[in-house]
Amino acid sequence: MKRRRFLSLALALTLLLSLCACKTKIVDDDTTQGNAPVTGETRGETTTEPAQTTEATQTTQASKTTSAERVTAPQRRTEKGKLDPSTGTYTGLSPLPKAKFTVSDPQNTRGLSTATVGYSFGVSKNGVPHQNSTNAQKYFDSNGFNAVSIDTKTKEKVLYLTFDCGWENGYTSSVLDTLKQKKVPAAFFCTLSNIKAEPGLTARMIKEGHIVGNHSTTHPDFSKISREKMAAEIEKCDNYLREKFGYSSPYFRFPMGSYSASSLDLVSSLGYKSVFWSVAYADWDVNDTKGKQYAFDTVTSRLHPGAVILLHSVSPDNAAALADIIDWARNQGYEFRSLEQLPN
């Protein structure tokens, strides 16, 4: 009897261990890339972050460090924000009056398309922009949408550097250090949650002359929500910047790069310019960093005159390579400009 009971227990233990091994195997083999639309030429070229992650997920991601990150990444750090007692803002600027948006054609009676478009920029090569980017700009212009994917009007070799900031991973301070040292203007498209969580970084961006763009309140897919909800997403984020930073800017970036004709029209009607991009790469996944050299090679190989560059500030590779990217571009005759210098 004891022998039979021992054999049964051993068999059960063997089965349990096998199940555990299978579960680990499934996790290890999972190569899905989240909810982000595929915006490059291949699945491996996903460039926009997935739908807003939870705080717990962000903490887990931030705690994982690859060997490439350990070798090349600058030290993580944060910057504490402090309210100015005289103004009640983090910048010391006087608060701005709150905005109240009027939603044009809330029921979309004109029948503008609400079909989801996952922005596809293509991969530029040899200093020549991909036709996807130039065609997108033609579409925006021909339909009267206030949007930019590439500067096709400026004849000089100009670049516009932008970052998406959905959450903080400890590298934005290093990015700001490099931009200050190199005297390069940039635009940081921030979600409301990140602005609230990182008031010190947001205030520093503003004080150092960068644009803080609106990246929405909750990071939804704008092609799947009503026009009233779109306006509310932008308004709430803008009003927090107005109240706590004495700041507002007319630049917006669609979460996940997902839009529709109706959403482009709505954003334009609110007085915002929608900022897309013509140069980017899959840099938002902090669990798949490839190192400084990879970031440098990838970005510099895709630069072209008039490029709007999208990088994610959570990437340790970007923080490590940024100074070299700037130096290389300038040596090639490129000039970095602010979005405020875009031609009308």
Enumerate the domain spans of the chain. Answer: 136-344
CATH fold for domain 136-344: TIM Barrel (3.20.20)
CA 244 to chain centre: 22
Q: How far apart are CA 16 and CA 152, in angstroms?
A: 62
Positions in the chain short of pLDDT 50: 1-47, 53-65, 68-70
Q: What is the pLDDT of residues 3-53, one digit of tens each?
A: 444 444 444 433 333 333 333 221 222 222 222 222 333 323 444 555 554
- Residues 130, 151, 164, 265: which is the catalytic one? 164
pLDDT for res 5: 47
Helix, strand, or coil (residue 116): coil
Phi, psi of 272 (to 5 degrees): -105, 150
* Contact between 310 and 164 (Cβ < 8 Å): yes
The answer to whether the beta carbons of residues 150 and 134 sit under 8 Å apart is yes
Indicate if 304 belongs to the active site. no
Catalytic residue, chosen from 215, 219, 304, 312, is: 312
Stretch (H or E) spanning 240:
helix 227-245
Tell me the whole-structure pTM to 2 decimals: 0.82
> Of 138, 152, 113, which is closest to residue 264 (Cα–Cα)?
113
286 contact partners, CB below 8 Å, separation of at least 6: 61, 62, 64, 169, 314, 315, 316
Which residues are paired to 165 by β-bridges? 190
Asked if 141 is an active-site residue, the reply is no
